[in-house]
């Protein structure tokens, strides 16, 4: 019996030593431009889904989730905080999304390949708490309250059915980037902002670099 126990302990110690040696060797590919080994990816995705399912199990979506008012409010915050990573109808990709690993899902495309309705409680939990080491922020840390998070969950459920024009109209009629926890700061441009004093720093050429396919390069 003691020999069996010793054997198990020795195997565990050997495993831990191997992991430590690999970690210390500096050979692990941590760059976001190198994908995980499929086995590592599988383990990470399985762990993520089990954890989200466990943590969001008791969450109940509000009865008024589908109301136009929530969707309208969610549209403004989505356009301000999420669109660069999660795209929008007729926005095929973005620079930041191309470089992120894991790649943020295209939320305008709906639940991949299925046309199924999104799980609002799952989305609520992810938006509120974020996902470690992925680029998905915990928006509650920035001060966003639960009601504004539900507004976003309502909006992302609706977005796959929107045309480019319908999306633009919803954003235009929203209240812009406004949610609880902003300390009275309203990110909408103030009335008369056009007349605000000009910045004193010297102008740069703006957002310009090689590889642009969208005409931002002043050749």
Residue whose CB is less far from ligand HEC, 121 or 156: 156
170 binds ligand HEC (CB under 6 A): no
First CA to last CA distance, the chain: 77
Under 8 Å between Cβ of 73 and 170:
no
Under 8 Å between Cβ of 163 and 89:
yes
Binding ligand HEC by CB under 6 A: which of 125, 139, 150, 167?
A: 139
Binding ligand HEC by CB under 6 A: which of 72, 73, 86, 129?
A: 86
> At a CB cut-off of 8 Å and minimum separation 6, what does 171 contact?
75, 76, 78, 79
Binding ligand HEC by CB under 6 A: which of 134, 166, 176, 178?
A: 134
119 binds ligand HEC (CB under 6 A): no
154 binds ligand HEC (CB under 6 A): no
148 binds ligand HEC (CB under 6 A): no
48 binds ligand HEC (CB under 6 A): yes
- Rounded distance, CA 81 to CA 178, Å? 11
Binding ligand HEC by CB under 6 A: which of 75, 81, 108, 120?
A: 81
Residue whose CB is less far from ligand HEC, 150 or 199: 150
94 binds ligand HEC (CB under 6 A): no
176 binds ligand HEC (CB under 6 A): no
CA atoms within 13 A on the CB side of 144: 25
Under 8 Å between Cβ of 66 and 132:
no
123 binds ligand HEC (CB under 6 A): yes
Residue whose CB is less far from ligand HEC, 141 or 212: 141
Burial 130-148 (b: 16+ CB within 10 A, else e): beeeebbbebbeeebeeeb
Q: How many CB atoms lie within 10 A of CB 88?
A: 22
Which residues are near ligand HEC by CB under 6 A?
Answer: 48, 81-82, 84-86, 100, 102, 104-105, 123, 126-127, 131, 134-136, 139, 152, 156
């Amino acid at each position: 019996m003691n020999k069996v126990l010793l054997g198990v302990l020795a195997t565990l110690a050997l495993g831990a030593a191997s992991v430590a040696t690999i970690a210390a060797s500096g050979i692990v590919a941590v760059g976001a431009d190198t994908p995980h080994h499929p086995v590592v990816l599988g383990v990470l995705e399985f762990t993520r889904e089990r954890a989200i399912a466990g943590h969001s199990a008791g969450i109940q979506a509000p009865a008024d989730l589908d109301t136009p008012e929530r969707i309208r409010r969610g549209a403004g915050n989505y356009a301000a905080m999420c669109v660069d990573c999660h795209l929008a109808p007729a926005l095929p990709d973005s620079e930041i999304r191309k470089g992120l690993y894991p790649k943020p899902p295209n939320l305008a495309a709906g639940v991949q390949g299925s046309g199924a309705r999104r799980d609002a409680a799952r989305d609520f939990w992810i938006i509120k708490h974020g996902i470690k080491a992925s680029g998905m922020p915990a928006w509650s840390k920035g001060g966003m309250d639960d009601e504004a998070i539900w507004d976003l969950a309502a909006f992302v459920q609706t977005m796959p059915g929107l045309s480019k024009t319908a999306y633009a109209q919803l954003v235009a009629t929203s209240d812009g980037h406004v949610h609880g926890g902003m300390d009275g700061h309203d990110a909408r441009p103030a009335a008369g902002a056009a007349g605000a004093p000009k910045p004193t720093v010297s102008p740069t050429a703006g957002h310009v670099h090689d590889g642009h396919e969208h005409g931002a390069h002043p050749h």
